[in-house]
Every structure is written in structure tokens, then in C-alpha cells.
């Protein structure tokens, strides 16, 4: 599996410069935590059934169409999917994402990993990111393979540092492979905030 395959909103699951995956522990993640918990508390959400998620090809990008959106909670821990990351996942170009901030893009990228939407991950990766590939067909195929193996279960946004050039989103992601903490940097490209790089906390 190529290094870029595991790049989340983050460049993660691969130790920097080593070319080897991080040995993450099999951390148990609590499930079904009440939505009344504070915003930064980890909301452990079961991955929606594949029968509820239909990925369509909208002008070259896999824009998700979700059945029964009124009852599907967003994987990022926000409100209903249609009112949260679902608004971003329908984007077919960077122009469609110009109104959203770095935290919203980061949350939507996490949700894309949780729902198995490789095209959104590709769309929101900055060209200067070390995992960026010009060959999107190969990149998409590798991402699909990775997303079938790993289940993302909860997201904690710990802090957001506002910056006119490179805002930083500090978060902790829970998955079937363990818990990952990263500070993700974003940079504007064609009017939208895109994931540029990530600093892992190990």
C-alpha cells in the first residue's frame, strides 16, 4: 500500500520519512455516546450502513447521496449529516467549497474517510501535500482499497488556530486501528482551504 493511501485530513498512519505505517494500538472506542455531551467530547458513532450511503458520480467527483438523511448523524460528531458535512460532500469543484472554513473542511475530510468517499479526499488535498498524486485514477483506487479495511468511529476537534495563511486544526481521530492525534495545516488554493500537511503527536 502506497504511503499516500492512508492520508486522512491528515498525512497520517505513516511515520514521517520512514515509508512505514505507524504501529497504532488497537484502542477500544466507546460507542453511542449521548449527543448531549460537550462539543469536544469524543462522539463515538457507528459507521452508517453501506445500504444507506449511495455514492454517485457527479461531474467526476463522487458526491454522496444519503437515504433517510433526516436520521443519519454526521460522522464528524456534528448535527445531521445533511446539515453538516453532507453540504460539503456534494461539491464538484473547489469553487463549491470557497465559503467553508478550515475546520469545516477538516471535519468533512474525516467524514469522507468514515463514509468511504475517496473523491472528496482527493478534491481537498493541496497540490503541495506530499501525498498528492496527479494520477487521480491510481490514487482513487488505492484510497478505496484502504477505506474498505479501516473504520473511523469518532472525532475530537481539540483546537483551531486561526491564521490568514495557514490555519491549524488540532484533532484526535478514533478508528479500528487506534487513536491518532494530529495538527493539520490548511492553505488556500483556487479559493478553498485545502489540507497541506500534518504534524503527528506520538
- Which long-range contacts link 141-145 to residues 24+ away (Cβ below 8 Å)? 142/1, 142/2, 142/4, 142/5, 143/5, 143/118, 144/116, 144/118, 145/1, 145/5
CATH for the 3-13+41-200 domain, from 3.30.930.10, 3.20.20.140, 3.40.50.11390, 3.10.450.50: 3.10.450.50
Q: Nearest Cα to 105, choosing from 43, 171, 42, 33?
A: 171
Tell me if residue 157 falls in helix, strand or coil. Answer: strand
Q: What is the pTM of this model?
A: 0.70
Q: Nearest Cα to 93, choosing from 67, 72, 64, 124?
A: 124
Cell numbers linked to 49: 450502513
Query: Strand 61-66 to strand 152-161: parallel, antiparallel, or no bridges (unpaired)?
Result: unpaired
Q: What is the pLDDT along the chain (202 residues), one digit of tens a residue?
A: 333 334 454 443 332 333 333 333 333 333 333 333 333 333 333 344 433 443 332 233 334 444 455 458 999 998 899 999 999 999 999 999 999 999 999 999 999 999 999 999 999 999 999 999 999 999 999 999 999 999 999 999 999 999 989 999 999 999 999 999 999 999 999 999 999 999 998 6
Q: Nearest Cα to 110, choosing from 10, 185, 187?
A: 10
Is residue 91 within 8 Å of residue 99, measured between CB atoms?
A: no
Domain range annotation of the chain? 3-13+41-200
Amino acid at each position: 500500500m502506497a504511503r499516500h493511501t492512508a492520508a486522512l485530513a491528515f498525512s497520517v498512519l505513516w511515520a514521517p520519512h520512514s515509508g512505514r505505517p505507524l504501529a497504532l494500538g488497537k484502542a477500544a472506542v466507546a460507542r453511542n455516546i449521548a449527543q448531549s455531551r460537550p462539543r469536544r467530547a469524543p462522539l463515538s458513532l457507528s459507521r452508517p450502513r453501506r445500504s444507506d450511503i449511495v455514492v454517485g458520480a457527479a461531474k467526476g467527483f463522487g458526491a454522496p447521496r444519503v437515504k433517510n438523511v433526516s436520521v443519519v448523524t454526521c460522522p464528524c460528531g456534528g448535527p445531521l449529516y445533511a446539515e453538516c458535512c453532507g453540504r460539503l460532500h456534494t461539491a464538484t469543484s473547489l469553487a463549491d467549497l470557497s465559503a467553508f472554513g478550515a475546520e469545516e473542511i477538516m471535519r468533512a475530510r474525516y467524514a469522507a474517510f468514515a463514509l468511504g468517499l475517496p473523491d472528496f479526499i482527493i478534491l481537498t488535498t493541496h497540490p503541495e501535500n506530499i501525498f498528492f498524486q496527479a494520477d487521480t485514477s491510481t490514487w482513487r483506487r488505492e484510497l478505496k482499497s484502504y477505506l474498505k479495511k479501516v473504520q473511523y468511529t469518532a472525532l475530537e476537534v481539540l483546537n483551531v488556530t486561526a491564521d490568514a495563511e495557514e490555519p491549524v486544526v488540532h484533532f484526535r481521530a478514533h478508528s479500528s486501528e487506534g487513536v491518532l492525534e494530529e495538527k493539520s495545516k490548511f492553505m488556500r488554493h483556487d479559493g478553498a482551504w485545502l489540507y497541506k500537511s500534518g504534524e503527528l503527536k506520538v
